[in-house]
Amino acid sequence: MGEGGVIAGQIFNGISVASILLLAALGLALSFGVMNVINMAHGEMLMLGGYLSYLACRVLPGPGGFLVALAVAFGGTFLFGALLEVIVIRRLYGRPLDTLLATWGISLILQQGARSLFGPIGVEVVAPHWLNGSVSMHGTLAGLDLPYVRLFIIVLAIAVLGLVALFIAKTAWGLRLRAVHQDREMAEALGVNTRTVDLVVFALGAGVAGLAGSVLALISPVTPTVGQSYIVYAFLVVIVGGLGSLVGTALAALLVGLFSCSLQIFTSVSLADVLLLVLVILFIQFRPKGIVVRRSRAIEA
């Protein structure tokens, strides 16, 4: 493979990583933008989605089993997120430090629970036969293969982003969400049930993170700590993109994924992560509100 093929391969890998980061960060962007809540257990929603996919594929091992696993991962984490919001998060609004400590404790409980049920060694989800193989490039990119699995992840991330954008822009619930995001007090005065909106937003974010865990299970084992490997990057994406902005989150995920994979051509993975953190620190010094600035009284408060 020539130099052009190597560079194109790293760009493709960066887009693939960005797709997973986008799915992992969407929920954080929504929950913080609307609810002003930082969920330290968000990575465990990704882990939960991976394990649910593993169980679903064990029950339905056929070619369509993984599509069912995607639905199970989304539905299971959506319901768990709703339960978490009702039992814990709802009682801690306006208390950011207590929320951080509570969700961090929940993340530790979920990790230990997964370790007890599935063991410390990761479990694997076997990709269906229609995701085996790859697209072989020719010409100047001869020797470059684009795996179907990673292409599927990219397409799924784009589809989920589009569906979430349509949900926010075209539905009654999306209208309520935008109203609460802009001015919670005024939305309450106009009759919007903000508690129900918070519940839907938090559960939706958890469900999307579950999808991220499901597709991640196709390319790496699901372990009790798999969520911790991605949650830091998800927070970076939300900060760089701009709190509560879907467009900013998508752009930031793409930038973080491409920058990280591009650096790995010239240096080690560890040094690439260090340089990425340095870049993010420099970026927020000059643009602390992120790529896309969305005005919101919830955030400004």
Q: What is the pLDDT of residue 84?
A: 93
| Tens-digit pLDDT profile for residues 10-62 | 788 888 888 888 988 888 888 877 777 888 888 899 999 999 999 999 888 87
The mean pLDDT value of the chain amounts to: 85
What are the pLDDT digits (tens) for 72-128? 999 999 999 999 999 998 888 878 888 888 999 999 999 999 999 998 888 888 888
Q: What is the dihedral of CA 96, 97, 103, 106, to 10 degrees?
A: -150
Give the Cα separation of 30 and 282 in Å (integer): 25
159, 20 Cβ separation under 8 angstroms: no
CATH entry, 3-300, from 1.20.120, 1.10.3470, 1.20.140, 1.10.10: 1.10.3470
Reported as a pLDDT band with limits 50, 70 and 90, residue 299 is very low
How far, in Å, are 65, 151, 228 from residue 19 at the CA level?
22, 10, 17
pLDDT tens figures, 225-278: 888 878 888 888 888 887 767 888 888 888 888 888 877 777 777 788 788 888
What's the CA gap between 288 and 40, in Å, rounded?
21
Q: How much is the pTM?
A: 0.88
Q: How confident is the model at residue 294 (pLDDT cuts 50, 70, 90)?
A: low
Q: Which pair of tokens denotes residue 99?
A: 């929320």
256, 233 contact by CB (below 8 A): yes
Under the banding of pLDDT at 50, 70 and 90, the label for residue 142 is low
Give the domain ranges of the chain.
3-300
